[in-house]
Amino acid sequence: MTTLYGLNNCDTCKKARKWLERFGVAHTFVDYRDQRQSPETLAGWAKQVGDWDALINKSSTTWRTLPPNRKAPGSDAEWKLLLKEYPQLIRRPVVVTDDGVVTQGFSDNSFKLRFAIRAQDERGSK
C-alpha cells in the first residue's frame, strides 16, 4: 500500500489524495505534524530524494521566517533536529510505495507515471 505523508490542511496533499482515490490507488495518509517521523526515516527520505536541501520546501513561510543560522544546518543531526521542530518544512506530499521508493510533490502527470496510469485507465475513472 502507498503511504502519503503531508499535512491535512495542505491543498497539494488534498489534490494528491483525491487523485489516488479517483484512480483506485490504495493508500493511507499520515499527517507528519501529528505523527512525527523518526530521524532515521527523515534521513532515508532525504537520501532518496537527493539530499536534505531537496527534502525542504524553501519557499514556505516557515523557512523564510527561520533565523539565518537555522537555514544552514551543518550536519545530519542538525537537519534532523530542524525537521523534528518544524515538520511542516518537508516538501509535500511525500509518497512512499511498498517497494520503499520515495518521491515528493504532486502533479497529474508525475502521478500517472509513478502509478502507471494509462490513457484508457483515465477514461474509465471519470
| pLDDT tens profile 35-50 | 999 999 999 999 999 9
Query: What distance in Å separates the CA atoms of residue 116 and residue 6, rounded to the nearest whole number?
Result: 22
- Angle (CA) 27-106-80 rounded to 5° is 80
Q: What residue has cell string 518544524?
A: 86
What are the extents of the domains in the chain? 2-125
Thinking of the domain 2-125, which architecture would CATH place it in?
A: 3-Layer(aba) Sandwich (3.40)
Report the predicted TM-score, pTM, of the whole model to 2 decimal places.
0.89
Active-site choice (4, 8, 9, 10): 10
Is residue 25 within 8 Å of 115, Cβ to Cβ?
A: yes
Q: Could you tell me the sign of the dihedral formed by the alpha carbons of 48, 52, 58, 62, in that order? A: positive
Per-residue pLDDT, 126: 52
13 carries an active-site annotation: no
Query: What does the alpha-carbon distance between residue 99 and residue 116 come to, in Å, rounded to a whole number?
Result: 15
Taking only the tens place, the pLDDT of each residue in 67-116 is 999 999 999 999 999 999 999 999 999 999 999 999 999 999 999 999 99
